[in-house]
């Protein structure tokens, strides 16, 4: 069933509000219209393109909050960050990130996205990876988007350790999972998650 323009635009706005990192291509498939139609709808609704939505969310927060890394050292773009609790980053796999023959992402890029997100999440001037247990669960191909979600799962004040779980998805499919044991020099902020 074809939606009217008004109905489609209402659903488009609602969809982007619920999943702000959805691409125009994904939206065009969802609504069974051309990408150009989606772009025109976004323009009429004053909804910026994906890259701008990501940058707007992330830029102001990151510059002042991330202590352990320079922003340019982070692999992918952090789009949500709650220090010592949770974070999300997005990494677009391009030709320079894949094996030439098979066009599959080289694993160290996925590891780097997850690891740098775990480091950035730590509210400390010095945060180092002490140990990592990782598993690749799906091949990631050129032009796919990887969304990494990190969450602090435990803190050990005495040993100055924080355990961060990072799960990376392509769409709804899990592509990578890692548990990172992070060394930190300062004590965990008592106002943060300590579960």
Task: Give the chain's largest Cα–Cα span.
Answer: 61
pLDDT in tens, 16-70: 888 888 899 999 999 999 999 999 999 999 998 887 777 666 665 566 677 666 6
Write down the pTM of the prediction: 0.66
CA dist 112 and 81 (Å) reads 17
- Integer angstrom CA distances of residue 84 from 158, 184, 189: 16, 11, 8
CATH code matching the domain that covers 60-184, chosen among 3.30.70.980, 3.10.580.10, 3.10.129.10, 3.40.50.720: 3.10.129.10
Strands 127-136 and 86-92: what pairing? Answer: unpaired
pLDDT in tens, 83-124: 899 999 999 999 999 999 999 999 999 999 999 999 999 988
Closest by CA to 88, choosing from 169, 184, 176, 189, is: 169
Where are the domain boundaries for CATH 3.10.129.10 in the chain? 60-184
- In CATH, the architecture of 5-47 is Orthogonal Bundle (1.10)
């Amino acid at each position: 069933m074809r939606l009217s323009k008004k109905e489609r635009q209402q659903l488009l706005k609602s969809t982007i509000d619920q999943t702000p990192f959805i691409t125009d291509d994904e939206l065009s498939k969802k609504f069974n219209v051309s990408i150009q139609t989606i772009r025109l709808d976004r323009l009429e609704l004053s909804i910026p393109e994906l890259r701008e939505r990501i940058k707007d969310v992330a830029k102001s927060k990151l510059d002042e909050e991330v202590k352990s890394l320079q922003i340019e050292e982070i692999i992918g773009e952090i789009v949500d960050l709650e220090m010592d609790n949770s974070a999300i980053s997005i990494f677009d796999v391009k030709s320079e990130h894949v094996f030439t023959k098979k066009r599959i992402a080289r694993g160290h890029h996925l590891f780097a996205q997850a690891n740098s997100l775990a480091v950035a999440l730590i509210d400390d001037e010095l945060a180092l990876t002490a140990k990592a247990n990782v598993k690749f669960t799906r091949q990631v191909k050129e032009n796919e988007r990887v969304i990494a979600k990190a969450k602090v799962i435990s803190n050990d004040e005495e040993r100055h350790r924080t355990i961060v779980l990072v799960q990376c998805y392509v769409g709804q499919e899990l592509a990578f999972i890692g548990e990172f044991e992070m060394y930190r020099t300062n004590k965990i902020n008592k106002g943060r998650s300590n579960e």
